[in-house]
C-alpha cells in the first residue's frame, strides 16, 4: 500500500514537471514585451477600445500610433500582424513608427492588429517562439505569433463560422482569423470586435487609404502582389508597375474576389469610403514542403526543398539559393506602401499624404532592417511602448 502511494506521488510529480517545463516557455512568451521607440513623427497614441469600449482591458485591445502631419491632407492606415506568423509586416510598421515624419496628412499605424495572435504559437508545427533581428547595439528579440487569435482569449470555437453580415459559411478557425472577421460588429465574438473597431476608425476619421501587410507562401499564387478590389485597382496597378520598373522587384495585382467574404481588401472597400490594399510578400517559412521551421528559415528564407521545386517551376515567385530574406520582404512592403501613398496623392492632391524619413527597398536590403531600430535602453522612457 505504501509503495503504491509512493508511485502515485512520483507520477504526479513527474506530470507536474512535464507541465512546468512544457508550459513555462509558453507562459513567458505570452508575457514577453517587445519595445518600440516612438519616433519624432508620432503625435498621439489611441487604442482600438476608443472605438469599441468592450475591448478595454482585453489582450485584443491594441495601440494605434497616430502621426498628425505638419499640414492637413488625406489620411492613411497601415496595419500589420493581422496574421502574426507573417512578421515582415510588423517590422515594416515598427520602421514607420520609429522613423517616419508626416509632412502632409495623417498616418495611423497599428503594428499588432491581432494582439492575441501575436501571443499565440503553433508548437505542433514546430514554430520558434522568438526571432532576433541584429542591430548596431545588439540584437532585438521579437515574439513569433500565429495566424489566429489564441483560444485563451476567444473560446469555444463554433462548428462553423457564419460570417457577419453575409452569412457565408467559413471554417470554424476563421472566427479567430482577423482576415475573415471584417467588417465585424460591436457585440460579436472578440475578433469581430477588433475588426469593427478598425472599421469605425476608418469611417469616423474618414481615412482614405488602408494598407494591410501580410506574407504568403511561394507555392501560393496570391503572393508577391497587391490584392485590391475594383475601387483600388487603378492605384494598385500603377504602384505595382512603378516598383517593378524603378526598384526592380517583382510585383503584380490580384483582384479581390467579390464572393469571398471577411477579408480586409473586400469588406473595408464595401463598408467604408476607404480604398483598401492588401500586400503579400513571399514567406518561404510558411510553405509546407520545407525543412525544419527554424529562425534561420524565417530570416533568410533559404530552403533546399523549395529550391528543387523552383527548378521544377512549381513556385509562383522567382527563387534561387539566396532565398527571400526578411530585409527583402520588409523592403518590398515599405516601398509598395510608400508608392501607394504617392500614387494616391498624385490622383487626389487635396487629400495628399506625404512622409519623410523612411528608407525604401534598396536601402533596407543594403543596410538591414535592424539598422533603423533605436536602442530602447537609451531612448526617453516616455517614448518606449511595449507590444
Residues at the interface with Zn ion (CB under 5 A): 83, 86, 214
Give 148 or 339: the residue with its C-beta nearer to Zn ion.
148
Q: Least separation, in Å, of the C-beta of 116 and Zn ion?
A: 15
Give 153 or 280: the residue with its C-beta nearer to Zn ion.
280
Give 66 or 228: the residue with its C-beta nearer to Zn ion.
228
Is-contact 216 280, C-beta < 8 A? yes
Residue of 143, 151, 200, 201 lying closest to 176 (CA atoms): 151
Q: Least separation, in Å, of the C-beta of 286 and Zn ion?
A: 9
Find residue 158's DSSP bridge partners: none
Give 75 or 83: the residue with its C-beta nearer to Zn ion.
83
**Residues sharing a CB contact under 8 Å with residue 387, sequence separation 6 or more, in sequence order:** 33, 34, 35, 36, 62, 63, 111, 112, 115, 118
Residue of 251, 249, 252, 269 lying closest to 260 (CA atoms): 269
Q: Is 251 helix (H, G, I), strand (E, B) or coil?
A: coil
Give 81 or 335: the residue with its C-beta nearer to Zn ion.
81
Give 112 or 355: the residue with its C-beta nearer to Zn ion.
112
Q: Least separation, in Å, of the C-beta of 137 and Zn ion?
A: 31
3-class secondary structure per residue, 43-82: CEEEEHHHCCHHHCCCCCCCEEEEEECCEEEEEEEEECCC
Q: How far apart, in Å, do the first and last CA atoms of the chain sit?
A: 53
Q: Least separation, in Å, of the C-beta of 26 and Zn ion?
A: 23
Give 83 or 265: the residue with its C-beta nearer to Zn ion.
83
Is-contact 228 264, C-beta < 8 A? no
Q: Least separation, in Å, of the C-beta of 148 and Zn ion?
A: 11
Q: Least separation, in Å, of the C-beta of 285 and Zn ion?
A: 12
What is the distance between the alpha carbons of residues 142 and 51, in angstroms, rounded to a whole number? 28
**Residues sharing a CB contact under 8 Å with residue 38, sequence separation 6 or more, in sequence order:** 45, 65, 97, 98, 383, 384, 385
Is-contact 148 122, C-beta < 8 A? no
Q: Least separation, in Å, of the C-beta of 83 and Zn ion?
A: 3
Amino acid at each position: 500500500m505504501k509503495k503504491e502511494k509512493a508511485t502515485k506521488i512520483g507520477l504526479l510529480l513527474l506530470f507536474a514537471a512535464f507541465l512546468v517545463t512544457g508550459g513555462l516557455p509558453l507562459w513567458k512568451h505570452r508575457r514577453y514585451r517587445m519595445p518600440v521607440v516612438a519616433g519624432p513623427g508620432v503625435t498621439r497614441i489611441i487604442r482600438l477600445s476608443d472605438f469599441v469600449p468592450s475591448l478595454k482591458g482585453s489582450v485584443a485591445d491594441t495601440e494605434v500610433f497616430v502621426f498628425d502631419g505638419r499640414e492637413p491632407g488625406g489620411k492613411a492606415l497601415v496595419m500589420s500582424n493581422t496574421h502574426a506568423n507573417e512578421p515582415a509586416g510588423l517590422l515594416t510598421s515598427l520602421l514607420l513608427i520609429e522613423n517616419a515624419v508626416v509632412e502632409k496628412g495623417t498616418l495611423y499605424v497599428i503594428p499588432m492588429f491581432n494582439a492575441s495572435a501575436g501571443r499565440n504559437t503553433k508548437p505542433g508545427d514546430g514554430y520558434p517562439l522568438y526571432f532576433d533581428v541584429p542591430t548596431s547595439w545588439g540584437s532585438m528579440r521579437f515574439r513569433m505569433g500565429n495566424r489566429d487569435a489564441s483560444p485563451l482569449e476567444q473560446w469555444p470555437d463554433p462548428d462553423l463560422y457564419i460570417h457577419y453580415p453575409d452569412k457565408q459559411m467559413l471554417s470554424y478557425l476563421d472566427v479567430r482569423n482577423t482576415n475573415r472577421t471584417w467588417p465585424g460588429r460591436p457585440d460579436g465574438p472578440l475578433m469581430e470586435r477588433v475588426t469593427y473597431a478598425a472599421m469605425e476608425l476608418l469611417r469616423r476619421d474618414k481615412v482614405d487609404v488602408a494598407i494591410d501587410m501580410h506574407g504568403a507562401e511561394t507555392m501560393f499564387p496570391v503572393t508577391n502582389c497587391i490584392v485590391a478590389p475594383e475601387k483600388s485597382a487603378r492605384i494598385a496597378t500603377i504602384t505595382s508597375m512603378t516598383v517593378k520598373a524603378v526598384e526592380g522587384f517583382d510585383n503584380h495585382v490580384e483582384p479581390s474576389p467579390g464572393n469571398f467574404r471577411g477579408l480586409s481588401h473586400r469588406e473595408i472597400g464595401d463598408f467604408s469610403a476607404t480604398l483598401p490594399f492588401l500586400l503579400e510578400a513571399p514567406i518561404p517559412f510558411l510553405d509546407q514542403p520545407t525543412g525544419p521551421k527554424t529562425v534561420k528559415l524565417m530570416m533568410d528564407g533559404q530552403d533546399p526543398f523549395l529550391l528543387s521545386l523552383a527548378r521544377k517551376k512549381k513556385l509562383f515567385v522567382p527563387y534561387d539559393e539566396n532565398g527571400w530574406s526578411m530585409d527583402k520582404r520588409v523592403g518590398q512592403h515599405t516601398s509598395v506602401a510608400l508608392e501607394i501613398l504617392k500614387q494616391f496623392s498624385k490622383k487626389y492632391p487635396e487629400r495628399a499624404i506625404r512622409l519623410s524619413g523612411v528608407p525604401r527597398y534598396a536601402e533596407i536590403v543594403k543596410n538591414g532592417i535592424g539598422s533603423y531600430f533605436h536602442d530602447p535602453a537609451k531612448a526617453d522612457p516616455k517614448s518606449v511602448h511595449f507590444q
